[in-house]
């Protein structure tokens, strides 16, 4: 008998919490709403260019060792194979032109910035997303994602969950007739 009461109490508290959180205007409070400062953008774009240089020089193990925990959750051997295939399939990474840099995760003490842009390889051009954990002046690679075609992205390391780059939809204004 006690278990149903406890479960009911937990569910009631959860519902109250959800109602309370959603009853306030959340604009500006979501971490996705926090703009990326110019210094953060520069840091993340510079990190993409360092990644490009490291890939071109064959420093796959160094990339792995300096990456963040999420990236290193994959086995080193898996990354080494991906890195080699990346280089063999696309050739040298010649250019990168950033089209956007935005906050795509994190929390109060952690900033994750995703940089999207066009990468020019010997074998052609690809759209690329690269996620970085920013910690003061330090960047740690979270993942690299390449657009293969209109609907398909290949992510390194492979993700067990959907990509986190796309931000959640913003709530409709209170005076909108649809709401």
**pLDDT of 25 higher than 70:** no
**pLDDT of 35 higher than 90:** no
pLDDT of residue 29: 45
Number of other CB atoms surrounding residue 160 within 10 Å: 6
pLDDT of residue 66: 95
34, β-bridge pairs: none
pLDDT of residue 17: 33
The domains of the chain are located at 31-156
In degrees rounded to 5, what are phi and psi of residue 109?
Answer: -110, 0
Q: Which of 4-18, 39-53, 139-153, 161-175 has the lowest mean pLDDT?
A: 4-18
Reply yes or no on domain 31-156 having CATH 3.10.450.590: yes
Residue among 94, 112, 87, 90 nearest 32 (CA): 112
- How many angstroms separate the Cα of 80 from the Cα of each of 72, 132, 142, 148? 12, 20, 16, 20
Section 108-134 average pLDDT: 93
**How buried is 93 (Cβ within 10 angstroms: 0-12 exposed, 13-18 middle, 19+ buried)?**
buried
Query: Quick one: what percent of the chain has pLDDT higher than 70?
Result: 69
Which has more confidence, 71 or 28? 71
Query: Quick one: what percent of the chain has pLDDT higher than 90?
Result: 55
Section 147-168 average pLDDT: 70
In a 3-state reduction of DSSP, which class is residue 36? coil
Q: What is the DSSP string of 2-46?
A: HHHHHHHHHHHHHHHHHHHHHTS--TTTSGGGSPPPHHHHHHHHH
First vs last Cα of the chain: how many Å apart? Answer: 41
**pLDDT of 167 higher than 70:** no
Section 28-56 average pLDDT: 83
Distance CA 100, CA 60 (A): 26
In a 3-state reduction of DSSP, which class is residue 46? helix
Instruction: Please report, to the nearest 10 degrees, the dihedral formed by the alpha carbons of residues 60, 61, 66, 72 taken in order.
Output: 100
Give me 97's structure tokens.
């032109």
Give me 7's structure tokens.
């479960």
Q: Where residue 2 falls among pLDDT bands split at 50, 70, 90?
A: low
Q: What is the pLDDT of residues 55-109, one digit of tens each?
A: 999 999 999 999 999 999 999 999 999 999 999 999 999 999 999 999 988 777 7
């Amino acid at each position: 008998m006690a278990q149903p009461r406890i479960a009911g109490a937990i569910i009631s508290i959860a519902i109250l919490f959800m109602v309370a959180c959603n009853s306030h205007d959340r604009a500006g409070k979501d971490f996705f709403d926090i703009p990326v400062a110019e210094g953060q953008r520069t840091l993340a774009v510079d990190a993409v260019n360092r990644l490009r240089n490291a890939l071109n020089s064959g420093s796959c193990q160094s990339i792995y060792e300096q990456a963040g925990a999420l990236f290193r959750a994959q086995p080193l051997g898996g990354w080494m194979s991906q890195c080699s295939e990346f280089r063999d399939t696309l050739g040298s990474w010649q250019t990168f032109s950033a089209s956007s840099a935005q906050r795509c995760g994190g929390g109060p003490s952690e900033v994750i910035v995703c940089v999207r842009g066009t990468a020019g390889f010997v074998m052609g051009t690809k759209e690329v997303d690269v996620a970085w954990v920013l910690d003061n002046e330090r960047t740690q690679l979270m993942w690299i994602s390449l657009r293969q075609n209109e609907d398909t992205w290949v992510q390194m390391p492979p993700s067990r969950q959907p990509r986190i780059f796309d931000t959640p939809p913003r709530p409709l204004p209170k005076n909108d007739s649809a709401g």
